[in-house]
Structure 1
Amino acid sequence: MLGILIFDQLNDIIYIKSDIGFLRHVQGMAVAQGLNSPSEINDLKKAVEANILVQLFSPLLTSHQVMDLQFGNPYTAITCHDGTTLAIHKYESCVFLVIGQAEEEWLQRLLSTVVRLTKLLVGPCVTVLRESKERRKVFGRLIKAWLHASASQQCYLVEAVERLVLSPEVTTAAVQVLSQVLDKMKSKQSRSSGGALLPCHALLLVRNKLLALYSSRSAQELSACDVLLLNLLLQENQDQSEASSLQLLLEDDCTLSPGSARTEGNSQLQEVEDEGSTLQTVTLEQLEGEEQQILEGVSCHSVLMLLKTELSVFTPHLVHYSVLHPNLALIVVSEIGRSRVSGSVMSLLQCVAGLSSGRGTHAVDVCEATLLQTLQLARKLTPNSNTDAIAHALDKVELQWHHCKTGGLLEWREGDQDVEMSSRLESALTALLDAVRVAWKLISLPYSPSTGGSLVAAACAQQAALYAKEKLASYAQFLDVKAMTNSKFECRALTVNKYMDDFPGLVHFIYVNRSTHELTAPSLDPLESETCDADGPSNQFLESCQATRQLTKERVWTMFEFARSHLSSGNFSVMWKDTTFSYAYFLWFEDRNGVAQIPEQLDEDVLAALPLPGILSEDFYRRLTAHCVPALSPDQVQVCEVLCVHLGLVTAPCILEQTRRLLASVWEVAGQGTSCHPADLL
């Protein structure tokens, strides 16, 4: 059972996505409380009405709001007597719920990912998910893609980018192709869109492994988190039949939108009219369906995403992605020309949101200056179809700001801490926040695949994709094979798929450079391991292959989650074993010279304030570094983590000794030769 729900501040539903088990569970609760008839409990085709969901969850939402606003201690999770767990998070006055019977930590991770995907697609305007069918569909696909990827791919398990290791000649050729792709798109879009779109990044991925990344000189840095999120776009187009047995993929998609009528049918859109709020049930086939523009064998897809840059945490980018050859994909990221004014409005929104707390006039002066800067930038926007709407929205922001100042904002900020805000001023600030969000939405979310500018950009991206497909045609099969056996790369001391020869008893390892969030690990697919045996394996290698086949992904996933739970508690070195295997996990810090840094002890309050380990929702490791090595800037510290799986008979001293030698070999493979001092794991 699994359900994802988003409620607005009035407890109305913005978005709901669930599997059949959750719908059956909700229907049973509705019957038990007299909100539905018993004859409908087994009718899974009948959607759960929106007012029933509101009645069932309103007491919880109201209690959560009271705990948050009055006591500053909102719920984060609730476990019921039947084993059902609810993970709860509040973002932009909206409450996000993930409900299921899985472990609380996994539900919290799913919840943080859902919030991150919301920020990626709609930023602070969560209600857009209710208003825009296009945004809603992309949102649902990305959730489904993450569920599949996190259960099957190591890069999403550890939240790090896996690179495809090739010869310098092949990598250079791929980078040159990407450079030419960006040049072609820049020249064509500069003539057609007048500089409204600025192509800045191009990526090639083979079987979800990063082959090459090229960025223009003026582009903001593309983070590892952004690469993982962009890679999710490709996940939705891949065959996910093997994941159907994982019972993690959502089988039904329920969304809310106004003004529709209900019709019966299995494959048709079903809607329930309820006096202004309407519930739609979308089948899995409709969820996976997408209009594709196909030209000469290359399908080009476009989506607007809000990536983190130095300008803003929500910088609008138009992303084009195409499958060039089987398992070989191209992604081109173009920054929208409104990025500066969008970032200025976002800064204004953050300033206004902070006015209700604290005292002093400095924050008011900052808001005033940010508003003036926003108005100046908005006047320089290139005229288009919604320029007048933007001007009108900013005029409303300016008017609401005037109402706040005349409503006693300065007097309240200069007053005593014990003086509560008047209802008039509180209403004025709420109206100002709403006005700023509307202005940001008009500036940052104007693009869709159906608009004229996006169609022109898609045509340019498609022509660039055709060029890349032609240039990489002779490499396609080679790249696909190398991606399947990515771990078969050699150095002086290590051939990873034959590492058992040099490290007896070692079954699997995962190494991540947390400064760059790059992953190095052998494949967990036994079929790939068997194909890496062209030179005639030793008996030890065959025995290790059998051990690899016995080592299921579920065991590795459980092992890593266990290590991550100890990391959240402040334990950086953990060793344990079960009846079959011995496990070891280490995380350590080094300076730029490779000298290990001794971390400071963290108290419980600091650990509780840290996010979940990973980088998708927030960079846990950067915040951890700031607390553990305060004497150095996080940019001056290299964070590394390694997890090893050995056969149960291997002793702890042998595990430590092998881990040191393994790291030295991996550093040579991964090109980290500057780390001249392997970490002192003892």
Structure 2
Amino acid sequence: MRCLMVFDNLNDIVFMKCNTKFCIHIRKIGISQDLIKPTENEKEDCDKIDPDLILQIFSPMVTSQRIMNCHFSNRYSSMQCQNGTNIVFDEYLGHLFIYIGDKEVSWQQKVLSVSILFIKRICGSDVSLLKYSRRRRFLVSKLLDVWLKRSNKEQCVLIEAVEQLTVSAELSTAALTAAKTAAEKMKTKSAFSRVHILIMVRQKFLTLYSSRNATDLCAGDTLFLALLAEAIQTVDSEPKDKSDLDVIIVEKDNSLQLENDVPLPRNKINSLLILLGQHGLKLNAVHLSYITDGVPLFIIHEIGNDVFNSSVIDSLTSFCTIQEIQIRGNVDREALKIAYDTVDSSMKKIIDLFKKKNAPFAPTRSVLAIITTLATRWEPLKKKYLDYFKNNDSSSLIAIESSNMNIVCSLKDLHHHCMLNESLIDSYTKEAVSEASAMVAVMLRDYTSFFEVKAMNNFTMRSRSTLNINKYLEEFPGLVHFIYVDRMSHRMIAPGLEFASQETLELTKKKVWSMIEFSRQHLRDGHFIVLWKDNTFTYSYFLWFEDQSGSDIQSPFDCKL
């Protein structure tokens, strides 16, 4: 049984994803409490659930969480029911995230944090897009499905590091040349000069070419794009009979079995606007096509004006912070002043960009109307805040609350019209992407058979004659498996888990996954060197620190053996 729910600040459901077991369980609770009546075909109704029933059952819990957070700053992190079901909580931009399942609390918290990460990149600073955008809602749902599946099968997803594909120098050069040629085509045929060309083989990294002015892609971006490539294949195949406002997604029991999904045709290009980056998220257009099955080609370019985009994101984020501060019993004036200053600076940048008729793009009438409304609403609100900081009259904050909501609505309209709006990708860009994709496919067509093999397995411990892993085998006789991770670049090297016997594969895979979890538990306790054994294998975990030259340095943290 599992369920992910997202509630807004009015306790309405913005997004919900659950399996049929959860639906059956909730319907039983509703019937036992006389909230609903049983139907004649109760088993057939297990794949749908009434949002009102969810609100009736979970509203007390959601309200309690809000009160504990706002008035006592002591919100719940998790709950455990008598039947062993665990409920974990988290918050993002004023929205409450709840995950219900029968796994360990630490794992469910991980699922929740990954879900929020996906929503940040797909919806930006407007979580309500999950409620109004059918495509983005299903994309988040499928991303979560793919991550749950791949974290149980792929070492790189479990470790959260990028696995470098082991290829010959000839192929490496050919792939980089093809990527560079595609980037040049994009720069000459479109108006975008900040371009990335990324080629992967499933979740494994083959090559990346970035133009000179482009912001670096971090390892998290690369992993996210690999998951996105798999998720986006199934989004367009979702049933079209669902309403755009049907926010509840009920997954079938076999929904995580994605192997039989039909891949995208090689000549089809999927385009999407998402946010990428590690420290500060930037708006990017991502164009996905396939060189061959399992080999996605990403053409990525930054889009829009950085100042405008970051100002809209900062304003929405800071207004959320302001609302959280103001609803608490004791208002933290210093924190409120910091958040207000961020909003003031961001709003000035947004309004000035259009006031000087130097807009970062040709605004439509609707966008100009939004900017005019935003400026009209902001000036009196700004004056109210300045009066509050001058007189320190907390009662004036009550009158400010409704004005804040109006400003947030205008900012969300800007966010929708000027950022996460696929119509911003013009026909010239689409034509350039199509030509660049075709060029890469032609330049690498001689390697497609090799890619199909590598997509299944990178290398194994039996690849000794062709790989430089002799040093490991000489120093550790009887070595069955190893994982090396460089956390500076988040790159990893690990042989694939390929064994002749399926039984041996399942046993070894289970051992490796439990080894990683065991070492993480000790790492959280501050142990950087761990040795242990069971009836079958001996294990070890080592964490050390190096400077830029590769010389060992002392750990910046307290180390326990």
Residue 89 of structure 1: aligned partner: 90
8 Å CA contact retained: 1:487, 1:496? no
1:440 matches 2:415: yes
Is 1:471–2:443 an aligned residue pair?
yes
Q: What is the rounded CA distance, in whole Å, between the counterparts of 1:222 and 1:124 in structure 2? A: 20
- Residue by residue over 1:196-241, the C-alpha shift from the partner in whole angstroms, topping out at 9 and shown as x without a partner, is x5551011112321110000001001000000000012223789xx
The aligned counterpart of 1:521 is 494
Q: Distance in 1 between matches of 2:404 and 2:159?
A: 41
Tell me the CA shift for residue 143 of structure 1.
1.3
- Is the partner of 2:539 in helix, strand or coil? strand
Q: Residues 564-603 of structure 1 correspond to what in structure 2 (within 5 A)?
A: 564-601=520-557
Q: Determine the C-alpha separation between the residues in 1 that align with 2:485 and 2:272.
A: 30
Answer whether contact 1:323 1:330 (CA < 8 A) is retained: yes
Asked whether 1:299 is paired with 2:239, we answer: no
Q: Taking structure 1 as reference, are residues 361 and 96 closer, same or farther at Cα in structure 2, changes over 3 Å only?
A: closer
Query: Which shifted more, 281-290 or 144-153?
Result: 281-290
When residues 136 and 455 of structure 1 are mapped into structure 2, their CA distance, relative to the original with a 3 A threshold, is farther
Q: In structure 2, what is the equivalent of residue 131 of structure 1?
A: 132
SS at match of 1:152: coil
Q: Deviations over 1:537-589 (max 9, x none)?
A: xxxxxxxx999646432222122122212222322222222222222222222
Q: Summarize deviations over 1:277-299 as a string: whole Å, max 9, x none.
A: 756667769999999995xx522
Change (3 A) 1:304 1:391: same
**Distance across 2 between alignment mates of 1:170 and 1:187:** 26
2:67 equivalent in structure 1:
66
Alignment match, 2:328:
none
Contact conserved, 2:193 with 2:211, CA < 8 A, in 1? no
Change (3 A) 1:352 1:488: same
Q: Is the 8 A contact 1:164 1:210 kept in 2?
A: yes
Instruction: Give, in whole Å, the separation in 2 of the partners of 1:279 and 1:374.
Output: 32
| Identity fraction in percent | 31
Q: CA deviation at 1:422?
A: 2.8
Distance 1:362 1:79, change over 3 A: closer
Closer, same or farther: CA 597–546 of 1 in aligned 2, 3 Å: farther
- The one-letter amino acid paired with 1:43 is E
- The answer for the alignment partner of 2:359 in structure 1 is 381
Number of residue pairs the alignment of both structures matches: 544
* CA 1:7–1:512: 2 relative to 1, 3 Å: same
Change (3 A) 1:307 1:279: closer
Displacement of 1:383 in angstroms is: 5.4
Deviates more, 1:230-239 or 1:466-475: 230-239
Question: Counterpart of 1:10 in structure 2: which amino acid?
Answer: L
Gap change, CA 1:70 and 1:504, over 3 Å in 2? same
Contact 1:338-1:381 at 8 Å conserved across structures: no
Distance in structure 2 (CA, Å) of the matches to 1:491 and 1:413? 70
Which secondary structure state, in structure 2, belongs to the residue aligned with residue 337 of structure 1? coil
What is the identity, as a one-letter code, of the residue corresponding to 1:337? G
How far 1:391 sits from its partner (Å)? 2.3
2:126 is paired with a residue whose SS is: coil
Q: How does 1:450-599 map to 2 (within 5 A)?
A: 451=423, 453-454=425-426, 456-482=428-454, 484-487=456-459, 495-496=468-469, 500=473, 503-527=476-500, 549=505, 551-599=507-555
Q: Which moved more, 1:116-125 or 1:588-597?
A: 588-597
Question: Could you tell me which residue of structure 1 aligns to residue 383 of structure 2?
Answer: 406
Task: Provide the C-alpha distance between the structure 1 equivalents of 2:230 and 2:133, rounded to a whole number of angstroms.
Answer: 22
Question: In 2, are the aligned partners of 1:164 and 1:211 still within 8 Å (CA)?
Answer: yes
Match in the other structure for 2:4: 4
Q: CA deviation at 1:152?
A: 0.6
Helix, strand or coil at the partner of 1:345: helix
Equivalent residue runs for 1:14-25 within 5 Å: 14-25=14-25
Instruction: Report the CA distance between 1:400 and its aligned residue.
Output: 2.6
* 3-state SS in 1 of match to 2:15: strand
Among 368, 386, 389, the residue aligned to 2:344: 368
Query: Hey, what's the Cα distance between the residues in 1 that align with 2:145 and 2:2?
Result: 12
Segments of 5+ residues of structure 1 without an aligned counterpart are 190-194, 240-249, 254-266, 528-544, 603-627, 629-680
Work out whether residues 488 and 496 of structure 1, in 8 Å CA contact, stay in contact via their aligned partners in 2.
no
Q: Which amino acid aligns with 2:478?
A: G
Further displaced range: 6-15 or 495-504: 495-504
**What is the TM-score of this pair, normalised by structure 1?**
0.72
Q: Is the 8 A contact 2:304 2:419 kept in 1?
A: no
User: Is 1:49 matched with 2:50?
Assistant: yes
Evaluate the alpha carbon distance shift between residue 351 and residue 560 of structure 1 in structure 2; reply closer, same or farther with a 3 A threshold: same
Distance 1:235 1:498 in 2: 36
Match of 1:394 in 2: 371
| Whole-angstrom distance in 1 between the partners of 2:68 and 2:46 | 37
Letter of the aligned partner of 2:213 in structure 1? S
1:67 alignment partner AA:
M
- 2:290 and 2:62 map into 1 onto residues whose CA distance is 43
The alpha-carbon deviation at position 524 of structure 1 amounts to 1.1
Alpha-carbon spacing, 1:109–1:282, altered in 2? closer, same or farther (3 Å): closer
Deviation string 1:466-518 (CA, Å, 9 cap, x unpaired) is 21111101122234434545336989997449955652232211110000000
Output the amino acid matched with 1:126: V
Cα pair 1:270 1:280 within 8 Å, conserved = no
Seen in structure 2, the aligned counterparts of structure 1 residues 286 and 467 have a Cα distance that, compared at 3 Å, is farther
CA offsets 1:34-77 (integer angstroms, 9 cap, x no match): 11223465334552101000111101100110111011121121
Aligned partner of residue 86 in structure 1, secondary structure: strand
The alignment's TM-score, normalised by the length of structure 2, stands at 0.87
The structure-2 alpha-carbon separation of the partners of 1:323 and 1:160, relative to structure 1 and needing over 3 Å to count, comes to same
Match of 1:331 among 298, 322, 334: 298
Contact 1:300 1:321 in 2 (8 A): yes
Q: Secondary structure at the match of 2:209?
A: strand
1:117 equivalent to 2:83? Answer no
Amino acid aligned to 1:15: F
Contact 1:149 1:235 in 2 (8 A): no
Query: Closer, same or farther in 2 for the Cα pair 1:141/1:46, shift >3 Å?
Result: closer
Q: 1:179 to 1:436 in 2, by over 3 A?
A: same
1:198 and 1:209 map into 2 onto residues whose CA distance is 26
Let me know the Cα RMSD of the aligned residues. Answer: 3.5
How many angstroms does 1:334 deviate by? 1.6
CA distance, structure 1, for counterparts of residue 429 and residue 224 of structure 2: 21
Quote the offset at 1:427 in angstroms: 3.0
> Amino acid of the residue matched to residue 488 of structure 2?
S
Distance 1:565 1:361 in 2: 40
SS at match of 1:445: coil
Instruction: Sort the Cα spacing of 1:565 and 1:396 in 2 relative to 1 into closer, same or farther, 3 A.
Output: farther
Q: Report if aligned partners of 2:316, 2:408 keep a CA contact under 8 Å in 1.
A: yes
Please report how far the alpha carbon of residue 598 of structure 1 lies from its aligned counterpart in structure 2 after TM superposition.
2.8
Structure-2 change in CA distance of 1:592 and 1:133 (3 Å): same
CA distance in 1, matches of 2:261, 2:24: 28
Which protein has greater RCO, CA pairs closer than 8 Å, 6+ apart? 2
